[in-house]
Amino acid sequence: MKPKVLQYGRLMPSLEKQLAEAFQHQRLVDQADAKAFLAAQGADFAGIATAGFADAALMAACPNVKVISSFGVGVDKIDLPAAAARGIQVGNTPDVLNDCVADLTLGLMIDVARGIGASERYLRRGEWPKGPYPLQRKVSGKRVGIVGLGRIGKAIAKRAEAFDMTLKYHNRRPVADTTMGYEKSLTELARWADFLVVIVPGGAATKHLINAEVLDALGPEGYLINVARGTVVDEPALVHALVERRIAGAALDVFENEPQVPAELMALDNAVLVPHIGSATIETRAAMAQRVFDNLQSFFSTGSVISQAS
């Protein structure tokens, strides 16, 4: 008998096809009354495939679930303590998206410092004949402070080194396998950096980690790059810092209330804004989908997922 797997949220069609072929697969979105469906059939499911969400209520509604496989590396919307209390393994998709997120990070740094997007808008508005676009900032050789030296942070550092950049990082504690300079104080790292790159997990522990004090330390020649979670940055404080030119600019892939983006941010030419596309390439999304499937397959065949979230 194939294990019964509940799908929460929409997933890539190729992944849904794999799930349907390998398991007894049902999508919660197809049910007219999700609450009634779970009350009647929730106990039948052995696993959950999710687009990144699983709270304690969902787990309680599926009391026999022993594995949750999530599409994405972030687990801030999955109740890990509730899963642990129920003996549920949670799998995510680390490593396979490192390169694309790191690539985008460097692209955002170049865009915000050189004004690529803003200068294109200048050209398209027909303003070039009136005069040259204002001078912008050099990227190579600058100082980069990385907030969160995990897998993706290290991939960003590797790329920054190719631009002859000087690197330091801030974590809760020093990382053993790096020679990069460690800065215990986030504020002092911001004060030192030309670019402050944020790549920490979301959740309560990091909510508004980047606040007005950190932004003031970054200063009028510094740039903030956020490829982590929108909740990590105090968005109103960032808007004020950008409007008042207390920082030079910001490049953001994530926002506090996605997909809603503050109108004040969208009005600013010193803010580069993209719609959470860090892992959004054909190759990486295919690899992420495969890991979601492989985590389930591995659990049902060996009792362990391939990549367990923590």
**Cα separation, 118 vs 104, whole angstroms:** 17
228 to 6, 113, 258, 260, 277: CA distances (angstroms): 28, 19, 13, 17, 11
**Cα separation, 60 vs 162, whole angstroms:** 49
What are the helix and strand counts (H, E) for the chain?
Answer: 12, 12
Amino acid identity for residue 237 in this structure: A
Pairing of β 47-50 and β 67-70: parallel
Give yes or no: 170 in active site.
no
| Given the residues 137, 159, 246, 276, the one annotated as active site | 276
Instruction: Kindly state the helix (H) or strand (E) to which residue 35 belongs, with its residue range.
Output: helix 34-41
**Cα separation, 111 vs 119, whole angstroms:** 10
Give yes or no: 229 in active site.
yes
Residue 142's φ and ψ, nearest 5 degrees, are: -80, 175
| Given the residues 170, 229, 285, 291, the one annotated as active site | 229
Amino acid identity for residue 167 in this structure: L
Give yes or no: 25 in active site.
no
| Given the residues 120, 213, 258, 283, the one annotated as active site | 258
Q: Give me the active site residues, please.
A: 229, 258, 276
